[in-house]
Amino acid sequence: MPLDATRSYPASEAVERPGRSAWIPRMSPGETIAAVSPQLYWTLSPGVIIGAALVGGAYGRRWRHVRSSSSPLRTAEAPIWRLCCFMAAVAISLIALLSPLDGLADQLFFMHMIQHMLLLDIVPILAILGLTKVLLRPVTRAVHDLERKAGPLAHPAFAVFLYVGVIWVWHVPGAYDFAVTHPTIHVLEHVSFVLVGSLYWWHLLSPIRARLRLNGMGPVIYMASTKLFVGALGMGLAFAPSALYPYYVDHARVWGISAISDQSIAGLIMAVEQSIVMGVALVLLFMRALSESEREQQRRERYELV
């Protein structure tokens, strides 16, 4: 019997996500996979909204304080584009966690992959680009102290290991299905993506000079080693001979997309996103290195004139 999108499903045939406004139909044994329309809704989580308001508000106050400084050098450290980057990071995190994208992630694997890539890469990149040494001055000493106490955990190699490890572990079918059906674990999964993504990109984009700084070919090796392993996972998902995640196999097919096609699209999104982000990041790092070299040259010329 094909699945009717207008039918009310008993608890044995549906997965309920606490705090959600919709039920996600699940196929019963013997039922034919049917195409259904997606269920679109907003997930208005108070914790996410309050967290975003606190983070955005704290940054905005600090930015205005630096911007209103009488020192031109301090004011130059708080350009409008930095504010736009940080606020974009806050906005994208809200889109990933509150908008219909979050509901679609429960129904389609490739939508869930888009959500993960936003939290893992895009949000941390934009947030860190919104920071400067002057904006971070109140916490600079604390960051250096934490780096010193962390020891080997502050090494870029650990960030690579953690970034790759977290992505691979959460995409093990058993772990993935467990997370997507248990809201608390699902929150933990998202938090882990934001944290490891922030640590990974901090080593590349941090405005604070770290004790172990990536120089020369370091950024290229750092990113290539990471994206190689994550890209391999994406290609593995894209070309797997069968659907690996029972959660999506057992559910009604939104837009008629089969579970294996859904998985293939998700894998390609992961692989392509990793390649694009790596390319853009390397260009930005190259431009920053040129800018720093130019400033250093100007500094040497001023000293020679004196």
Tens digit of pLDDT for each residue in 241-283?
999 999 888 777 888 888 999 999 999 999 999 888 888 887 8
- Cβ 36 vs Cβ 27: under 8 Å: no
Task: Reply yes or no on whether the pLDDT at 93 is more than 50.
Answer: yes
**Is residue 185 a contact partner of residue 111, using CB atoms and an 8 Å limit?**
no
* Whether the Cβ atoms of residue 244 and residue 299 lie closer than 8 Å to each other: no
Residue 36 β-bridge partners: 254
Residue 125 predicted with pLDDT over 80: yes
Phi/psi of residue 206, each to 5°? -55, 130
Given the structure tokens 């997965």, which residue do they identify?
15
The whole-angstrom separation of Cα 89 and Cα 233 is 26
pLDDT band of 237, cuts 50, 70, 90:
very high
CB 115 within 8 A of CB 34: no
The model's pLDDT over 149-196, given as tens digits with 9 standing for 90+, comes to: 878 888 888 999 999 999 999 999 999 999 998 999 999 999 999 999
pLDDT at 174: 92
Angle between helices 156-170 and 173-181 (to 10 degrees): 80
Distance CA 174, CA 169 (A): 10
The yes-or-no verdict on residue 103 having pLDDT over 50 is: yes
Q: Is the pLDDT of residue 11 over 80?
A: no
Q: Which pLDDT does position 160 carry in this prediction?
A: 92
pLDDT of residue 210: 65
State the pLDDT confidence band at 292, using cuts at 50, 70 and 90.
Answer: low
Report the pLDDT averaged over residues 187-211: 88
**Of residues 198, 194, 204, the one with CA closest to residue 93:** 194
pLDDT band for position 301 (50/70/90)?
A: low
Residue 36 parent element (H or E): strand 35-36
Q: What is the mean pLDDT of residues 5-12?
A: 37
Confidence grade of residue 4 (pLDDT, cut at 50, 70, 90): very low
pLDDT level of residue 112 (50, 70, 90 thresholds): very high
Q: What is the mean pLDDT of residues 81-108?
A: 93
Residue 95 in this model has a pLDDT that exceeds 90: yes
| Residue 17 confidence (pLDDT) | 47
Helices (H), the chain: 46-67, 72-76, 80-98, 100-105, 109-117, 123-129, 137-150, 156-170, 173-181, 183-205, 218-238, 246-249, 259-305
Look up residue 7 and give its amino acid: R
Condensed to tens digits (0 to 9), the pLDDT of residues 23-82 reads: 455 544 444 455 677 888 888 889 999 999 999 999 999 999 888 876 776 677 788 999
Residues 269, 145: Cα–Cα separation, whole Å: 38
* Chain centroid to CA 140: 24
